Chains A and B, each alone.
Chain A
Amino acid sequence: MEDEAALRQSLLPEAAPKLPPPPPPSRSSSLGPSRPPWGGDYGLGSDDRRFAFSRQHSLRQPDLRSPIPAERTRSSRPFLGRSDSSISMPPVEIDGLGQGFGDRGVTEKLTAIGMVSSLVKAVRFGNRPMKRLALMISLNVAYSTAELLIGIFTGRVGLVSDAFHLTFGCGLLTFSLFAMAASRRKPDKVYTYGYKRLEVLSAFTNALFLLFMSFSLAVEALHAFIQDESEHKHYLIVSAVTNLLVNLLGVWFFRSYARVNIVYRKAEDMNYHSVCLHVLSDSIRSAGLILASWFLTLGVENAEVLCLGLVSVTVFMVVLPLFKASGSILLQMAPASVPPSALNKCCRQISALEDVSEVSQARFWELVPGYAIGSLSIQVKKGADDYSVLHYVHGLCHDLGIQDLTVQTEFS
């Protein structure tokens, strides 16, 4: 079916602007080999990492429909991100997960068996970060079960509550893993934009839970402040140390994302960043508990309050940028990867065309980081050639990084 093929092509980042085949080539060949009519000379190569805006994706990609072949050497190298860590970006994924579910697949097939089987398949065929995440989740689950059982048998309530906290964290990480696996499905009739939004959703949920955790730590600190140092549970040290070690292992796995402010270029970036922040905050919390115990043995007063308060504030500050970024994508704000001045300039350039009398209702939003979608409405003088105007507008926006554009032309 033509629309399925078009849909499938539209989700690839390398897709050229989606237009019907061009008219006889007498028009475009007069423009010289690599200069599109809107003058796409931006003065920087695609390797220039000084700029956060992801124009660089589109600059790499040739216009597949033009009769002039462009060089493709640059697009074959993986685009390394912000740091020089030795973890490379995940390779091109082997898609062992098949088609989308069709009608309402994800939400209707949420049976336990279905999800478990898709997770298992994902881990076997997944890329490296997924496998590491699965390893971490299994470690956490094993550890929290052990803690729960020990707590129940020895009658220590503190261990049980810690085990529950860990289980919550595990549940969140499992949701992140599920998002990584499910987001590779092809778009279908119901989820016309595909499933990539799941990664942003999981990042947002992680950030939200981390904010809750920081609030609850603050409440605990208050509680410890009001209630004097009656029984501090010193036996929790062992569990805190183990927790710290497990989480530090997780931080090491995702160390290229261990930063507070990251430029998100792909959908997975947000998910990996949220996982890293999750294990990071958990390790900060364990470290805080250990420090509190140590200070108490040293005889520092109100040590618990201080440490818990410090941990709570730190986690809050660390998580806030991710929360804002993922929230702004879910709220359909203007794309973070396209500078607002560029959008204005684009609209002005379009209205400066001699055939166009007005540009209105220009709306842009991001589906996932790096994939912007827009719609605008232009008024064209009667008798003008709509194909060339469409081609111009699509090309201009595509250079800015807006992959999906719907232009409504009205003839006045």
Chain B
Amino acid sequence: MESENSQPSRSQIIDINVDVPEGASGLNTSKICAGSTCGLSDSATRSKDAKERNASMQKLLIAVVLCIIFMAVEVVGGIKANSLAIITDAAHLLSDVAAFAISLFSLWVSGWEATPRQSYGYYRIEILGAMASILIIWALTGVLVKEAIGRLIHPTGEVQGVLMFAVAAFGLVVNIVMAILLGHDHGHGHGHGHGHGHDHGHGHGHADHDHDHHEDDDHSDDDHAHGHTHDIRITTHPHHSEDDKHKDESRHPLLNKPKKKKRNINVHSAYIHVLGDSIQSVGVMIGGAIIWYKPELKVIDLICTLIFSVLVLVTTFKMMRDVLEILMESTPREIDTTRLEKGLCELDGVVAIHELHIWAITIGKVLLACHVTIAPDADADLVLDKVIGYIREEYNISHVTIQIERQQIQHA
């Protein structure tokens, strides 16, 4: 997400390193950052952040408004037609609105400036908001499964296939519109081809949908550098081999390749919500169609609910894993610690590296802290600059804290 906007600051750093002669002490300006948090929010990143944030907020706002309108329509229609299915769908939409509201709130808050109490800024709130959204999805799925089993025991009566089908079709259309809205980044050229990816009708099973989706992903991923840093991808388990291939791609240094924007995690979690809803709508449509043909197979309704609930859970799995890894302060997947250590040890003056910690505040903002032991006669300033420069160029980590320790000569 933020990988593009380090480009101006990165080229700026490179210039300084070349111009200043060895041993000069005018290197301070590159280390002491303008503003309170360098790399995380200097003026260039902040304006880019603000622009992207505004774009995402607009998208989410439109999605929320659409949802509310649709929900009002459904509630009125459901009361008039006296159908439970439509009112249940409206309740589901209410949860969608809640999730979008959480995403909007997180987006808005993440723009606040850092305070002494919250010294890294408010970016983490996005991650917590995404986690809350996913937990809402899981809770809802649980409620649906409970309802389904309850209906198995206690059949509630006549289920109208036609009505189910109509409502589900309408829901699907609205969900597709929102998915296009949320998944489409302008200037991205990512071309998911949502139009045909979601076009199910009756015959296509879910496997086809995923495969289409992923094929498009593949083609456009080859265009950008860092295919795997787009790490919040919706794939199901059969595509595991593709994951490995993308991991290999990610080992190349980022230097001379154009980078594409990563998706904002809030917009992405809203997108997953909508995707889950459309999967459910598809299930209901299939069930409704079958019941339309043969009204005695009521149990299909429940089976469809169960199957598609499981599918929805599967789509959230990858995102939850990413969220958990960030919250556990683990090393981000795109950074190879062993290679970094080896590279650092190969710089002159550096004897050893220890206490290396790399962690992410949110997707795309990575920090590093380590202790570097240098030879007793080396120039601390020079080694510091070299280390910081190496990390910035090779791994694009802009916020780095290095503690230089001199190796003490042991007297026998």
Q: B residues within 8 Å of A by Cβ?
A: 25, 28, 31-33, 36-38, 116-120, 122, 124-125, 128, 131-132, 135-136, 139, 142, 145-146, 149-150, 153-154, 321, 324-325, 327-331, 333, 337-338, 352-359, 361, 369-371, 373, 380-381, 384, 401-408, 410-411
Comparing A68-76, A136-144, A325-333, the segment that makes contact with chain B is A325-333
Question: Contact at A192–B331, with CB atoms within 8 Å?
Answer: yes
- The complex places the Cα of A411 from the Cα of B23 at a distance, in Å, of 12
Q: Which of A104, A168, A191 contacts B142 (CB 8 A)?
A: A168
A195 located at the interface, meaning its Cβ lies under 8 Å from any Cβ of chain B in the complex? yes
Known contacts A6-B354, A192-B357, A331-B125; A201/B324 CB under 8 A: yes
Chain A proximity of B411: nearest CB distance (Å): 7
A53 at the interface (CB under 8 A from B): no
CB distance from B368 to the nearest CB of A (A): 10
Q: Shortest beta-carbon distance, B68 to chain A, in Å? A: 18
A residues adjacent to B (C-beta < 8 A) = 2-3, 6-7, 10, 18-24, 104, 107, 151-152, 155, 157, 160-161, 164, 168, 189-193, 195, 197-198, 201, 205, 208-209, 212, 327, 330-334, 340, 360-365, 367, 375-377, 379, 382, 386-387, 390, 404, 406-412
A110 to B403 alpha-carbon distance, docked (Å): 36
Which residue of chain B is the closest to A364 with respect to CB atoms? B119
- Contact of A334 with B328 in the complex, beta carbons under 8 Å: no
User: Do A365 and B119 form a contact, CB below 8 Å, given A190-B331, A377-B32, A411-B380?
Assistant: yes
Query: In whole Å, how far is B33's beta carbon from the nearest beta carbon of chain A?
Result: 8
Instruction: Please report the C-alpha to C-alpha distance between residue A360 and residue B31 in the assembled complex, in whole angstroms.
Output: 11
* A386–B355 CB distance below 8 A: no
**B125 A197 Cβ-Cβ under 8 A:** no
Nearest chain A CB to B90 CB, angstrom units = 14
A241 to chain B, nearest CB (A): 22
**Is A327's CB under 8 angstroms from B328's CB?**
no
7 other A-B residue contacts (CB within 8 Å) besides A160-B153, A164-B146, A407-B403: A20-B373, A333-B117, A404-B355, A406-B403, A409-B404, A410-B384, A412-B25
**Inter-subunit contact B135/A208 (CB<8 Å):** yes
Task: Select from chain B the residue with minimum beta-carbon distance to A110.
Answer: B321
Q: Which of A6, A20, A195, A201 sits near B407, CB closer than 8 Å?
A: A20
Q: Which residues on A sit within 8 Å (CB–CB) of B38?
A: 361
Which residues of chain A are within 8 angstroms of B354 by Cβ–Cβ distance? 2-3, 6-7
Cα(A382)–Cα(B370), bound, Å: 23
With a CB–CB cut-off of 8 A, which chain A residues contact B135?
205, 208-209, 212
B343 to chain A, nearest CB (A): 15
Which one of B36, B150, B330, B352 lies within 8 Å of A157 (CB-CB)? B150
Question: Is the beta-carbon distance between A330 and B401 smaller than 8 angstroms?
Answer: no
Taking a contact as CB atoms closer than 8 A, the residue among A2, A330, A333 that contacts B118 in the complex is A333
> Chain A: which residue is nearest B121 at the CB level?
A332
Closest 8 CB pairs of A and B: A363-B119, A3-B354, A164-B146, A406-B369, A375-B401, A157-B150, A331-B124, A334-B117
